């Protein structure tokens, strides 16, 4: 990787914090990754993530306590596109990229789930019996309020969504080698935006990790 710098009399734009070494040298690097300190790939120069990283399997890292830990791994596929890998009930309608997602991109999908049967989207994921998992998704009502429910195996959580984004979740201890993650209408019809689905081996929600055609693991 080739890095370049430019000399200037003053450094005005500091996206995240002051960097005395930049000021002392009078230069600004084109890329400054502070991975050891921040545990992410955000460029300190621009404040943006300029590096793509993917890993299709679980990863481990050594924590500050010296113990080997497992990085967050998202086990569902197509976490931001519910019109592809996800199964759809006959009465469910999915409109991809309908609205603005929590990260500011136009990647939130609209789910229209009327009352009655076959109003769901779901995905079957390989699990380990006796292991705790948690399923989460960002969701909001398209307008006003909307009933909504998420299920993982036999566990379920119902919500009344507003027009503000929420990250909702449900936890479950697997009883077999596969578990189904489901989004459905709950009690009445649902009209919602969803984004960022995640199923992880944990009892608590971790950082969101985007997936496409394979599972993905966080950078640490």
73-217: CATH topology is: Jelly Rolls (2.60.120)
DSSP track, the chain:
----EEE-S-----SS---HHHHHHTEEES--B-HHHHSS-BBTTTSSB------SS--EEE-TTS-EEEPPEE-SS-TT-TTSSSEE-TT-EEEEEEE--TTSSS-EEEEEE-SSSS-EEEEEEE--TT-EEEEEEEEEESSS-EEEEEEETTEEEEEEE-SS-EEEEEEEE--SSEEEEEEE-TTS-EEEEEEEEEEESSSS-------SSS-EE---
pLDDT of the chain, 220 residues: tens digit per residue: 444 433 333 333 344 455 676 777 777 777 777 655 655 566 777 766 565 554 444 555 455 566 545 679 999 999 999 999 999 999 999 999 999 999 999 999 999 999 989 999 999 999 999 999 999 999 999 999 999 999 999 999 999 999 999 999 999 999 999 999 999 998 899 999 999 999 999 999 999 999 999 999 986 5
Q: Any idea where the domains of the chain sit in the sequence?
A: 1-52, 73-217
């Amino acid at each position: 990787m080739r890095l370049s710098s430019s000399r200037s009399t003053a450094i005005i734009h500091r996206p995240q914090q002051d960097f005395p070494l930049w000021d002392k040298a009078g230069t600004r690097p084109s890329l400054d990754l502070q991975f050891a300190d921040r545990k992410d790939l955000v460029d300190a120069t621009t404040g943006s993530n300029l590096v793509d990283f993917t890993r299709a399997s679980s990863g481990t890292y050594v924590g500050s306590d010296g113990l080997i830990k497992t990085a967050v791994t998202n086990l569902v596929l197509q976490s931001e596109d519910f019109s592809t890998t996800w199964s759809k009930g006959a009465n469910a309608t999915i409109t991809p990229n309908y609205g603005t997602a929590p990260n500011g991109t136009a990647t939130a999908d609209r789910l229209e789930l009327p009352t009655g049967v076959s109003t769901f989207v779901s995905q079957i994921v390989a699990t380990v019996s006796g292991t705790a998992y948690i399923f989460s998704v960002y969701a909001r009502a398209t307008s006003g309020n909307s009933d909504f429910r998420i299920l993982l195996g036999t566990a379920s959580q119902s919500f009344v969504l507003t027009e503000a984004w929420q990250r909702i979740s449900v936890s479950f201890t697997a009883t077999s080698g596969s578990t189904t993650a489901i989004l459905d209408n709950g009690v009445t019809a649902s009209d919602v935006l969803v984004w960022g689905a995640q199923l992880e081996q944990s009892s608590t929600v971790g950082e969101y990790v985007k997936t496409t055609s394979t599972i993905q693991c966080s950078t640490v």
